[in-house]
Structure 1
Amino acid sequence: MAEVTYRPARIAGSVRIPPSKSAAHRALLCAALGKAPCTVAPIDTSADMYATLAGIRAMGVQADFTDGVVKLTPGEAPTEAVTVDCGESGSTLRFLIPIFAALGIEATFIGHGRLPQRPIGVYTDLLPQHGVSVETAGGLPLKISGKLTSGDFSLPGNISSQFITGLLVALPLLDGDSTITLTTPLESKGYVDLTLGVLRDFGVTVQETETGWRVPGGQRYRADAYTVEGDWSQAAFFLSAAAIGGGPVALSGLRMDSLQGDKACVALWRRFGLEITEQNGVLTEENPRVDEPFHGLHGISIDAAQIPDMVPALAVTAAFAEGETVIYNAGRLHLKESDRLLAMEAALGNLGADIRATEDGLVIHGKAHLAGGRAEGQNDHRIPMALAAAGCDCTVTVTDAESIRKSYPGFYRDFKAIGGHADVVDMG
Structure 2
Amino acid sequence: MSSVRIMPSALCGRLTVPLSKSTAHRAIICSMLAGQDDILPPDDNLSDDIIATQEAMEALLSSGSAPVTVDCHESGSTLRFLVPLAAVLGKTAIFTGRGRLPERPIGVYLDCLPKHGVRCETGGGLPLTVSGPMRPGIFFLPGDVSSQFVTGLLLALPLLSGDSRIVMTSPLQSAPYADMTCSVMESFGVKAEKGDDGWEVAGRQHYTPSNDFHIERDWSQAAFFIAAGMLGGKVELCGLSRSSCQGDRAAEMIFRSFGAKIRWRSGIMSVQAGGTPEHDFRIDASQIPDLVPVIAAAAALLPGRRTVIFNAGRLRLKESDRLAAMAEGLSNFGANVKEKPDGLEIEG
Range class of TM-score, shorter chain: over 0.9
- Aligned counterpart, 1:189: 175
Partner of 1:49: 50
Q: Deviations over 1:187-237 (max 9, x none)?
A: 101111111110111111111122100000010111243321100000011
Q: Does 1:96 align with 2:97?
A: no
- Secondary structure of 1:180's counterpart equals strand
TM-score where L is the length of structure 2: 0.95
Report percent identity of matched pairs. Answer: 49
Q: Distance in 2 between matches of 1:25 and 1:233?
A: 15
Quote how far apart the aligned CAs of 1:298 are: 6.1
Matched, 1:287 2:273: yes
Shift, 1:11, TM fit: 2.3
Q: Any idea what the Cα deviations from partners look like across 1:169-189, whole Å, max 9, x if unmatched? A: 000010100000000011101
CA distance in 2 between partners of 1:178 and 1:161 (Å): 18
Q: Structure 1 residue 299: deviation in Å?
A: 4.2
After superposition, where does 1:8-157 map in structure 2 within 5 Å?
8-34=8-34, 36-42=35-41, 44-60=45-61, 77-157=63-143
* In 2, Cα distance between equivalents of 1:48 and 1:218: 30
Q: Secondary structure at the match of 1:326?
A: strand
What residue identity is the alignment partner of 1:313? V
What is the CA-CA distance between 1:15 and the residue it aligns to? 1.1
Give distance in 1, aligned partners of 2:258 and 2:279. Answer: 5
More RCO (CA 8 Å, sep 6+):
1
Which residue in 2 is equivalent to 1:235?
222
Kept after mapping to 1: 8 A contact 2:71/2:96: yes
SS at match of 2:38: strand
Determine helix, strand or coil for the equivalent of 1:99.
helix
Q: Which amino acid aligns with 1:212?
A: G
Aligned equivalents of 1:86, 1:146: Cα separation in 2: 19
Separation in 2, partners of 1:44, 1:94: 23
Which residue identity lines up with residue 254 of structure 1 in the other structure? L
Report the secondary structure of 1:364's partner residue. Answer: strand
Q: How many residues align?
A: 344
TM-score under structure 1 normalisation? 0.78
Amino acid at match of 2:87: A
Aligned residue for 1:41, secondary structure, equals: coil
Q: SS of the counterpart of 2:233?
A: strand
- 1:227–1:185 Cα change, 3 Å: same
Q: Deviations over 1:119-172 (max 9, x none)?
A: 000001111001111001110000011211100000111221100000000000
CA displacement at 1:59 relative to structure 2 = 1.6
Aligned with 1:362 (options 336, 344, 348): 344
The answer for the alignment partner of 1:318 in structure 2 is 299
Is 1:303 aligned to 2:284, yes or no?
A: yes
Q: Which amino acid aligns with 1:156?
A: P
Contact 1:272-1:298 at 8 Å conserved across structures: no
Task: Give the superposition deviation at 1:338.
Answer: 0.7
The answer as to whether partners of 1:273 and 1:298 remain within 8 angstroms in 2 is no
* RMSD after superposition: 1.6
Match of 1:6, SS state, is coil
Q: Distance in 2 between matches of 1:279 and 1:272?
A: 21
Residue equivalent to 2:160: 174
Mapped partners of 2:82, 2:3: distance in 1? 33
Q: Is the 8 A contact 1:299 1:321 kept in 2?
A: no
Deviation at 1:339, TM superposition (A): 0.3
Letter in 2 for 1:343: A
Superposed displacement of residue 280, structure 1? 2.0
Distance 1:4 1:339, change over 3 A: farther
Q: State the alpha-carbon separation in 2 of the partners of residues 154 and 177 from structure 1.
A: 15
Which has a greater percent of strand?
A: 1
2:3 & 2:116 partners in 1: Cα distance? 47
Q: Does 1:205 align with 2:206?
A: no
The SS at the match of 1:338 is: coil
Q: How many angstroms apart in 1 are the aligned matches of 2:125 and 2:5?
A: 36
Output the CA distance in 2 between the equivalents of 1:141 and 1:236: 34
Cα offsets for 1:325-355 (capped at 9, x unmatched)? 0000000001011100000000000110000
Is the contact between residue 297 and residue 321 of structure 1 (CA under 8 Å) also seen in structure 2? no
Report the residue type matching 1:242 in the other structure.
Answer: G
Q: Which runs of 5+ in 2 are unaligned?
A: none
Conserved 8 A contact 2:12-2:235: yes
Is the contact made by 2:86 and 2:131 (CA closer than 8 Å) also made in structure 1? no
Shift of 1:44: 3.3
The CA deviation at 1:301 is 1.4
| 1:20 and 1:228 in contact (8 A); partners too | yes
- Residue 271 of structure 2 aligns to a residue whose secondary structure is strand
Counterpart secondary structure, 1:186: coil
**TM-aligned CA deviation for residue 297 of structure 1:** 8.2
